[in-house]
Amino acid sequence: MKTLVIVDPQNDFMPGGSLAVPEGDQIVPVINKLQDKFELIVAAQDWHPRTHASFASAHPGKKEFEVIELDGIEQVLWPDHCVQNTSGAAFHKDLETAKIEAIFRKGTDKKIDSYSGFYDNGHKKSTGLTGYLKEKKATHLYFCGLAAEICVYFSAKDALKEGFKVSIIEDATRPLDNEEFNKRKAELKEMGGEVITANAIEN
C-alpha cells in the first residue's frame, strides 16, 4: 500500500518560527494536493519537553548550532523549538489534517533527540511507527515535510532499514542547508531509496 508520511510541518519550522526552514511554508499546498493520491496518510511531530537536552538553552555558555557530544552521540544544539503544547509545535494552519490517520510524536525524551519518525537518534526507543505501518500493510512510503536533510532524511533512512520501499518527494520538502541535502540525497539513493517530484506519483 502506498503511504504518505508527512514529517514535522510545524510552525517553528516555518518562516517566522524559532528554527525556520527557508520557504518551509511553500510545501503546505503541495502536501495538501498530494493527499488524494494516497490510501494511507500518517504524520510525525516534534514534541519536545521545555528543557530538552538538544536545546542550546539547556547548556549554559553554549551557543545555538554548536555541536556537542550528548550520551556518546554528536548533537547539534538547536534553538528552542516545537515545545509540547505551544503554538510552535502545532501543524501549519493551512495543512489539511482530516485524512491523517495517526500522528507519531518524537523527541519526547528530554535526554535524547529524535530526528527520525521511527526511532530516537540512539535507536534506543521506537515510536511504534514501523509496527503501525506493517499492520496496515504499507509497502511504499513517500516522505515529505521539514527539514529535508534532517528529519525527512533520517525518517526515510530508517524506513529503508525497516524494509519499506522509500521515496522522498523533493518539491514537498525544503532543507535548512541545500548542500547538505544534496549529500543526503546521494546517500539515500545508494541505500536504495529514490528522490522524485510530486507529479511522478500516480493516482
**Residue 125: its pLDDT value, please?**
92
Query: How many C-beta atoms lie closer than 10 Å to residue 65's C-beta?
Result: 11
pLDDT cut 90: percent of the chain above it? 97
Query: How many C-beta atoms lie closer than 10 Å to residue 159's C-beta?
Result: 26
34 alpha-carbon distance from chain centroid: 17
**Residue 180: its pLDDT value, please?**
97
pLDDT at 202 over 90: no
Alpha carbon distance 174, 100 (integer Å)? 21
**Residue 14: its pLDDT value, please?**
98
How far, CA to CA in Å, does 91 sit from each of 82, 140, 144?
10, 24, 14
Q: Where are the domains of the chain?
A: 2-49+87-200
**Helix 153-161 and helix 178-190, axial crossing angle in degrees, nearest 10:** 10
How far, CA to CA in Å, does 137 sit from each of 40, 164, 181?
10, 10, 30
Q: Which residues belong to the active site?
A: 8, 106, 151
| DSSP strand pairing (67-70 vs 73-76) | antiparallel
Note the pLDDT tens digit of each residue in 84-115: 999 999 999 999 999 999 999 999 999 999 99
Q: CB under 8 Å to 62, separation ≥6 — which residues? A: 56, 68, 77
CATH topology of domain 2-49+87-200: Rossmann fold (3.40.50)
pLDDT at 203 over 90: no
What's the chain's average pLDDT? 97
Query: How many C-beta atoms lie closer than 10 Å to residue 197's C-beta?
Result: 11
pLDDT tier at 161, thresholds 50, 70, 90: very high
Q: CB under 8 Å to 21, separation ≥6 — which residues? A: 13, 14, 146, 147, 174, 175, 176
Cα of first residue to Cα of last residue in the chain, in angstroms, is: 12
Contact 27, 172 (CB under 8 A): yes
pLDDT cut 70: percent of the chain above it? 100
